[in-house]
Amino acid sequence: MDTNGSRQARYRFALVRSFSLSAGSGHPAAAVGGRPKEQRLPNHADVAPLLADVDWELLNGPVAPYGDWAVENREEFALVGAARLGIVREACESGRYNAIVLLGGGEPGAPACREIARRYHLPVTSAAFSQMHVAAMLGNRFGVIDLAESHSMHYYDLVLQHRFADRCAGIRSIDFPHGRPPYGHDEGRDIHAEKQKALRGEHSDAVEKATAAAVAAIEEDGADVIIFSCSGTFWLRPFVEKRLHEIGWEVPVLDGLSTSLALAKAMVDLGVDASGLVYPGDRPRRRRVRRTF
Amino acid sequence: MDTNGSRQARYRFALVRSFSLSAGSGHPAAAVGGRPKEQRLPNHADVAPLLADVDWELLNGPVAPYGDWAVENREEFALVGAARLGIVREACESGRYNAIVLLGGGEPGAPACREIARRYHLPVTSAAFSQMHVAAMLGNRFGVIDLAESHSMHYYDLVLQHRFADRCAGIRSIDFPHGRPPYGHDEGRDIHAEKQKALRGEHSDAVEKATAAAVAAIEEDGADVIIFSCSGTFWLRPFVEKRLHEIGWEVPVLDGLSTSLALAKAMVDLGVDASGLVYPGDRPRRRRVRRTF
Amino acid sequence: MDTNGSRQARYRFALVRSFSLSAGSGHPAAAVGGRPKEQRLPNHADVAPLLADVDWELLNGPVAPYGDWAVENREEFALVGAARLGIVREACESGRYNAIVLLGGGEPGAPACREIARRYHLPVTSAAFSQMHVAAMLGNRFGVIDLAESHSMHYYDLVLQHRFADRCAGIRSIDFPHGRPPYGHDEGRDIHAEKQKALRGEHSDAVEKATAAAVAAIEEDGADVIIFSCSGTFWLRPFVEKRLHEIGWEVPVLDGLSTSLALAKAMVDLGVDASGLVYPGDRPRRRRVRRTF
Amino acid sequence: MDTNGSRQARYRFALVRSFSLSAGSGHPAAAVGGRPKEQRLPNHADVAPLLADVDWELLNGPVAPYGDWAVENREEFALVGAARLGIVREACESGRYNAIVLLGGGEPGAPACREIARRYHLPVTSAAFSQMHVAAMLGNRFGVIDLAESHSMHYYDLVLQHRFADRCAGIRSIDFPHGRPPYGHDEGRDIHAEKQKALRGEHSDAVEKATAAAVAAIEEDGADVIIFSCSGTFWLRPFVEKRLHEIGWEVPVLDGLSTSLALAKAMVDLGVDASGLVYPGDRPRRRRVRRTF
Amino acid sequence: MDTNGSRQARYRFALVRSFSLSAGSGHPAAAVGGRPKEQRLPNHADVAPLLADVDWELLNGPVAPYGDWAVENREEFALVGAARLGIVREACESGRYNAIVLLGGGEPGAPACREIARRYHLPVTSAAFSQMHVAAMLGNRFGVIDLAESHSMHYYDLVLQHRFADRCAGIRSIDFPHGRPPYGHDEGRDIHAEKQKALRGEHSDAVEKATAAAVAAIEEDGADVIIFSCSGTFWLRPFVEKRLHEIGWEVPVLDGLSTSLALAKAMVDLGVDASGLVYPGDRPRRRRVRRTF
Amino acid sequence: MDTNGSRQARYRFALVRSFSLSAGSGHPAAAVGGRPKEQRLPNHADVAPLLADVDWELLNGPVAPYGDWAVENREEFALVGAARLGIVREACESGRYNAIVLLGGGEPGAPACREIARRYHLPVTSAAFSQMHVAAMLGNRFGVIDLAESHSMHYYDLVLQHRFADRCAGIRSIDFPHGRPPYGHDEGRDIHAEKQKALRGEHSDAVEKATAAAVAAIEEDGADVIIFSCSGTFWLRPFVEKRLHEIGWEVPVLDGLSTSLALAKAMVDLGVDASGLVYPGDRPRRRRVRRTF
């Protein structure tokens, strides 16, 4: 674990990725082994200030069991979600962390991770959970920007599960579904290539489409806040925010990692993780006769 | 596949179990290999009439990846849910079935199974889904009888996911958590032993507690219909129903398997499986700009 | 009663029409007396497979008390709904049926019919009830296609009564209100004439408008499933479905009769009809102290 | 029509009863023909001040088509509801009234009456509608006191139809179902006999039970306001109110007739009756493309 | 107090304005001191019939503590709301009134006013409360027409507070924010100047925009009834209503003052003001253990 | 302002009290002038770790305009809420802070404070807002512990305003209403005296009653998390938490100040304050045509 000095840091976080692709996959997110964690963490620059007072490690996700591509539909989410549980359990058992931050916009395996971590009194935050809760603090309704049809409907399920249906103004897709190998041959719809263009200051269709989707969410759907569903689109946050502000829309634009870090810190500070009644152990000391909605 | 005669049956169902335990586990549900499917299907007698016009096969579930015991908490559900997907996919690909019936009260992996089967235009039904939908046809609010604290909260999530929070009068637990190996040493709280007692016409604490829970659901919680959360409790249905009717409460009592079979038949008859907009393929022909709640 | 052979059929259904018009009315649906039930049942061909294993009779509805035209507004629904109750009661008393299927999209008298039939332990299904419940199994939100302004608002009430307001994406009217006598002089807006055109393979404005309404329901309103409100439009189902699939929208399109038959079968199979707490007798054995929502 | 002077009164109301029983029925409410309207109007004294500035007539309801007893279950409500429409239509056509006040707690036929009256721009108020709307002005949640199991569930439907499920704290029954002929032989459970006792200052079980139900609604169900479902219980209002105030519960207690009169006056004063979009004519000048919830 | 004759009038209302501006402010609503109450009451002609049988006084609001302009944003509403409480308390204490009618569309201080008046058993009505409740009686959903962005969001809060979120089809702004001194230099966007134009029969942009907003609320948002948020726009009611009826939309159009008067009368007639459980005194005789939603 | 060193602290918070009582009032919270901020901040020890990395100032609230006692009912909240706005505005204008933390459980003036601070891009957190949002992260439903009847209903309004009605399991009062001067003569029901007893390790009725209320909230109301409504009860948090854990209920127990600090930090870290669409300026650059719920 990193140490920023001699005394124990207040925050000791495990950042757990959703999945790993093989170095040979050609996927832009794959060939990152061996490099410093800052380089391996997507969009590190955007969250660097939030990590400044955190001892953090970046744990690799499980090798994607379904193939060498990014998780997108419900089946893939179920598979990597299950595969990630052991990593989270091990992180909890290690005693090295005081919070678990799950990477991955569609938060694979999150409810089970939270159940596991509860036994260690460790908070777990994840991208959909964190964005929705922060968005609800900032506005009445949030709009979601997604990148693929199947992913959108997985995210729809998450909105229901987190009980934010009445706060969600809608999910809009910009139609940049994740590529499948071989990579590098579908430039026009490659969200990673878009990121590189945008970072280089070039025109990016993804930025244009995401901005247009955000404007439509505001003007047509009634959104007060914008969030992103897939971690592959989190890099868009500052670009879309800037564009909206230029247009004159003063709406907060969130992403999954920064909000997950902020809420993890808040939970650590408050000494809370989750209600033991919602994530009970197998044989809890006290049992409730009835659970209501 | 069974054939009830020379012509193709209208219904050709794969009944897919949630998990398998090892024969050596000592678990009452484990040592069932090699026997006829009717003996291997739990509570077959209760659903025999519903199966009379069905060509059906009973597919084994995956070996429980977490240990030699029945699935109970969110972690275990995530693990067996993921592990079952391959079995479901294979069943779909085989072309032998026109519907998939998922066994298991907590319906592990159901959303992903439905997504997979949608590509084959096959309906998928499962226990929570089917009971809740049938219950909503019969009454204003349903009460759930569960057997363990952690299972109850997994089921709570299912109620939210299926959008029935306003129709669920509450989840009551009778506190018969699944045993852990070595089996056979916890008679007093063994739901399987209770079943044997009840079938032999003996007093069963589980029947008593479930009846009391149903009465409380009706009288205190406002339930009009009773459903069971865990497949380990489905055998209670006729016992509880009889008791309620004796008391004078004319409430329908449902179980997960019979309702799953009935709705699977209804979907086959109607030629429907699921909306392609809710379970879209990876690259659907048409995409929606916006999804709303 | 029809008999398909020597042994008792599993399903013995009374299909009860909403109303009768006089043979002299000139209404296309009127002059059907004396013909075989298959010819008298609207859109029989669409549901023939569902009726293949059913012993069914088609019971005439009451003579429309308000005039010689099809039921459309709330007043007319109240009048024929009341007039139909005696027919349903007699059907229940006859002991010939094990389910009552109410024809008529706006399901006149349905709650009272269900109350009556409950005393005979007979399930009752109807068009709005059945389509909404099946739609809720298939998608998140359904869109309704209606034909007249007053009928739409009667249907609006049904959506509320069946507690599906949060699952209904909207009701769109294609503006083909039922004719009034003398018939045959309003071709351009005659839904029955449209049906004949469509069946002959000719262009039908009603098919065009219904398809456009379905597309708008999907694209603008967020519908995942399409249902029809008025039985006069049920014939549109296969036409609209085909058109939507051609366009690329993989959405289920339902109608009231097929869904009513499928759910009636499901209820018969499950041995359920309705909760005795929701449809209590006049002096029930047990009474509840409090009813909640 | 009564005239309180030479100039036209501001309010000219038709009070329309739900049903008529035969004089020979022996029913306490039956033999009222020929007497002044003040004597025929149940609980006239309670509403006399509200009627002081109203020109009103009391129109008899239709002869109960189902038998010589008071309306109680859904079937009976459907029958008298339909039978009352002609009376309401005639009242509208007469031009003598500027509002229709429907008597009867379960408001038989009310939606169709409102549709009919809309064409004459006449407001219609009724007991459930009026009590619920006034209750919603006075408190967060109202409790309903009912007298019979089947009536309670009819009322449950009304709560849903009027969209007050989230404001209704529950329906409690005091179990005084309406008698059936021969009358006068079931004293212990006769709500009319109870009324006479109470008016004579004697002990009344109905007052006791209604007070207890109101207290339970307040203390256990969270009601802030009390309403009565059946017009046969409206006389309880001042008795229950007095008892509650003695106990120290400062909750408004409403009844159906006084609230119906008050809201009818409010609508007349405002020149409104109902939205033409909710109660459209058969061929309205403008049609809406889409109706939403 | 005015007296319309020798005997006590049934209704004795205090109409309490929201705020006062200085005569020197130049604000069109300011220089009204000394004139008869009929001239000082905005849009008196529109409500004159409703006031005909009322003994009423027009109480000046507090001098606007934030500056010499009309209340518009949350801060201003909080300030004048607090400042008005003393005036309301004094009115209650005077014993001269049997109801308090709060002027001001955004109803500053209304919940506290109602709490104060409850101790005197005096009903309090206000513009948002009254319009929303009457609108809910007339239709399924109401649309709100507002005049400024900050005012709209204050009104949004009121919709939530009054629990009408599911009945509100949306709030549309016509963008006529209140002016700031010096007045008279912003003619193009001056709502008071618009009123004068309209009253003179001239073209008024405000009437045009409000009509367009109402039509959009009906056609696009699903509104059945139209209400106005700010008292500065109440004068638009007859103009917009007339226009809508000309177009063929038969929707009720309400305003805050007439509905407040009508509901105040209804409450006086019914002898109710508010539930003592919702507006309890500081040391109530009875306390509830639990409050629910 | 405190400085923890030479460089600018990340967090610079103004903690703004709700009100001030006179030193001569005898109120235990009054005579605190001149002492260090740590002594003046109620329950400083409970939040000291959260304040360790914050430069904070404690700003006095306005002198209570209604009398020399603690704020309790809606009128008092409206008065101090308005009076506090100027203090908040001044704090915003000073440029010394990057967040405003409003003290006071019933968060007087909070919406207007947030509107004011939005113009300075400063987040504002408050006790009800913060506890409800954190509670929603930790469990499905939260129970509120309150101390007085009128305060409870003010809090009820806050639950509605913050849109948490469906997450609030109920508000339970322990009946320790704030005293009125002269103080010190009502020991048995003095929440401040209870605090002193508890801190001295003595028996405290308030601790007993709050624990009982929390247990009832969990067992009867379905609460998963406990929060406190009035700042006068925040000191109970560690006592109730300890008791619940001893009993075996693993539920988070929150208080308003610690959650307000944690969320203020999270907002500062994320660079967000509130949506400009929810708290717009008077003449925003962009305006929305329509606002929806």
Its sign, for the CA torsion F244, F250, F256, F258, is positive
pLDDT digits (tens, 9 = 90+) for F123-172: 999 999 999 999 999 999 999 999 999 999 999 999 999 999 999 999 99
Please tell me the distance in Å from D26's CA to the nearest CA on chain E. 34
Please state, as a whole number, how many other Cβ atoms lie within 10 Å of the Cβ of residue F5.
7
CA distance C129 to C102: 10
Please identify among residues 160-179 of chain B the ones whose CB lies closer than 8 Å to any CB of chain A.
Answer: 160-161, 163, 165-166, 168, 170-173, 175, 177
What's the pLDDT band for C269 if we cut at 50, 70, 90?
very high
- Tell me the average pLDDT across C28-50: 88
Predicted confidence at residue D33, as pLDDT, reads: 65
Q: Which of E72, E116, E168 has its CB closest to that of F293?
A: E168
Q: Is the domain of A121 the same as that of A132?
A: no
- Tell me the average pLDDT across C122-149: 98
Extract the runs of DSSP E, i.e. beta strands, from E168-278.
Answer: 168-173, 225-228
Extract the runs of DSSP E, i.e. beta strands, from E157-200.
Answer: 168-173
Predicted confidence at residue E2, as pLDDT, reads: 43
Q: Which of A140, A167, A276 has its CB closest to that of F250?
A: A276
Q: Do A115 and B150 touch (CB under 8 A)?
A: yes
Residue pairs between chains A and B whose CB atoms are closer than 8 Å:
152
- Tell me the average pLDDT across A202-213: 98
Nearest to E84 by CA among E104, E67, E70: E104
**A284 assigned to some structural domain:** no
The number of distinct structural domains making up chain B is: 2
Q: Is B137 exposed, middle or buried (0-12, 13-18, 19+ CB in 10 A)?
A: buried
Angle at Cα C136 formed by Cα C130 and Cα C139, nearest 5°? 135
Q: Is F203 exposed, middle or buried (0-12, 13-18, 19+ CB in 10 A)?
A: exposed
Q: Do B149 and A280 touch (CB under 8 A)?
A: yes
Residue B182: asked if its preceding bond is cis (omega within 30°), the reply is yes
Mean pLDDT (chain D) is: 94
Predicted confidence at residue C5, as pLDDT, reads: 46
Predicted confidence at residue E206, as pLDDT, reads: 97
Please state, as a whole number, how many other Cβ atoms lie within 10 Å of the Cβ of residue E64.
22
Instruction: List the subunits that have 3+ CB pairs under 8 angstroms with B.
Output: A, C
Which residues are within 8 A (CB) of C144 and not within 5 positions of it... i.e. 6 or more apart?
A: C155, C159, C168, C170, C171, C172, C217, C227, C228, C229
Mean pLDDT (chain F) is: 94
CA distance C172 to C154: 13
CA distance D143 to D158: 14
**Checking DSSP bridges between strand A225-228 and strand A168-173, what pairing results, if any?**
unpaired
DSSP state of A253: B
Predicted confidence at residue B164, as pLDDT, reads: 98
Q: Is the domain of F60 the same as that of F204?
A: no
What's the pLDDT band for B39 if we cut at 50, 70, 90?
very high
Please tell me the distance in Å from A52's CA to the nearest CA on chain B. 32
Q: Do B112 and A173 touch (CB under 8 A)?
A: no
Does residue F275 belong to the interface with chain A, where contact is any CB pair within 8 Å?
A: yes
Backbone region of residue B201 per phi and psi (left: phi > 0; alpha: psi in -120 to 50; beta: other values): left
Using a pLDDT cut of 70, give the percent of chain D over it: 94
Mean pLDDT (chain C) is: 94
Residue type, A230: C
List the single best residue of E63, E66, E71, E75 to mutate versus F (max F Cβ within 10 A).
Answer: E75
> Could you tell me which residues are beta bridge partners of residue B56?
B13
Q: Is the pLDDT of residue B3 over 50?
A: no
What's the pLDDT band for A2 if we cut at 50, 70, 90?
very low
Give SS3 for A162.
coil
Does residue A72 belong to the interface with chain B, where contact is any CB pair within 8 Å?
A: yes
Residues of chain F contacting E163 with CB distance shorter than 8 Å: 160
**B275 assigned to some structural domain:** no
Q: Is the domain of F36 the same as that of F181?
A: no
CATH of the domain at F219: 3.40.50.12500
Extract the runs of DSSP E, i.e. beta strands, from F193-243.
Answer: 225-228
Residues of chain B contacting A77 with CB distance shorter than 8 Å: 112
Q: Do F75 and E83 touch (CB under 8 A)?
A: no
What's the CA dihedral at E33, E38, E41, E45 to 10 degrees? -150
Nearest to A141 by CA among A264, A225, A50, A198: A225
Domain of residue A42, residue span: 11-127+257-270
Q: Is the domain of F123 the same as that of F202?
A: no
Residue with tokens 């500056």: E67
Q: Is the domain of C141 the same as that of C61?
A: no
Q: Which of B219, B254, B275 has its CB closest to that of C224?
A: B275
Its sign, for the CA torsion D195, D201, D204, D208, is positive
Q: Is the pLDDT of residue E136 over 50?
A: yes
Strand arrangement, sheet containing E54-59: E54-59, E11-16, E99-102, E124-125
pLDDT digits (tens, 9 = 90+) for B73-91: 999 999 999 999 999 999 9
Q: Is F289 exposed, middle or buried (0-12, 13-18, 19+ CB in 10 A)?
A: middle
Does residue E181 belong to the interface with chain F, where contact is any CB pair within 8 Å?
A: no
- Tell me the average pLDDT across A38-53: 97
Q: Is the domain of C193 the same as that of C233?
A: yes
Predicted confidence at residue C165, as pLDDT, reads: 98
Is residue E177 within 8 A of residue E148, CB to CB? The reply is: yes
**E2 assigned to some structural domain:** no
- What is the token pair recorded at E130? 């009254």
- What is the token pair recorded at E178? 């209140």
Q: Do B134 and C266 touch (CB under 8 A)?
A: yes
**D282 assigned to some structural domain:** no
DSSP element (H, E) containing E112: helix E110-118
Instruction: List the subunits that have 3+ CB pairs under 8 angstroms with A.
Output: B, F
Using a pLDDT cut of 90, give the percent of chain C over it: 87
pLDDT digits (tens, 9 = 90+) for C205-259: 999 999 999 999 999 999 999 999 999 999 999 999 999 999 999 999 999 999 9
- Tell me the average pLDDT across F259-267: 98
Do F and C touch (≥3 CB pairs < 8 Å)? no
- What is the token pair recorded at C140? 């998140």
pLDDT digits (tens, 9 = 90+) for F169-223: 999 999 999 888 877 666 568 899 999 999 999 999 999 999 999 999 999 999 9
Residue with tokens 């006075």: D138
Is residue E117 within 8 A of residue E276, CB to CB? The reply is: no
CATH of the domain at B31: 3.40.50.1860
What's the pLDDT band for F83 if we cut at 50, 70, 90?
very high
Q: Is the domain of A262 the same as that of A252?
A: no
CA distance D263 to E275: 19
Q: Is the domain of F155 the same as that of F43?
A: no
Residue pairs between chains D and E whose CB atoms are closer than 8 Å:
157
Instruction: List the subunits that have 3+ CB pairs under 8 angstroms with D.
Output: C, E
Residue numbers in chain D where pLDDT is lower than 50: 1-6
- What is the token pair recorded at E187? 């003619």
Residues of chain A contacting F138 with CB distance shorter than 8 Å: 272-275, 278
Q: Is the domain of D44 the same as that of D133?
A: no
- What is the token pair recorded at A228? 């992103």
Does residue E94 belong to the interface with chain D, where contact is any CB pair within 8 Å?
A: no
Find the distance separating the first CA and the last CA of chain A, reported in whole Å. 41
Residues of chain F contacting A288 with CB distance shorter than 8 Å: 218-219, 222
Q: Is the domain of F140 the same as that of F231?
A: yes
Please tell me the distance in Å from B130's CA to the nearest CA on chain A. 18
CA distance B267 to B117: 13
Residue with tokens 């005296």: F193
Please identify among residues 240-269 of chain E the ones whose CB lies closer than 8 Å to any CB of chain F.
Answer: none
- For C251-261, give one letter per residue: b (16+ CB within 10 A) or e: bbbbbbbbbbb
Cα E214 to the center of its chain, rounded Å:
19
Predicted confidence at residue C25, as pLDDT, reads: 81
Residues of chain D contacting C75 with CB distance shorter than 8 Å: 85, 112, 115-116
What's the ipTM? Answer: 0.96
Using a pLDDT cut of 90, give the percent of chain A over it: 87
Residue with tokens 């320790």: F176
Q: Is the domain of D135 the same as that of D245?
A: yes
List the single best residue of D153, D189, D288 to mutate versus C (max C Cβ within 10 A).
Answer: D153
**B291 assigned to some structural domain:** no
Q: Is the domain of D154 the same as that of D202?
A: yes
Residues of chain D contacting E169 with CB distance shorter than 8 Å: 292
Its sign, for the CA torsion E137, E139, E143, E146, is negative
Which residues are within 8 A (CB) of C141 and not within 5 positions of it... i.e. 6 or more apart?
A: B292, C167, C168, C169, C221, C222, C223, C224, C225
CA distance F160 to F149: 17
- For F248-260, give one letter per residue: b (16+ CB within 10 A) or e: ebbbbbbbbbbbb
- Tell me the average pLDDT across C19-29: 83
**D247 assigned to some structural domain:** yes
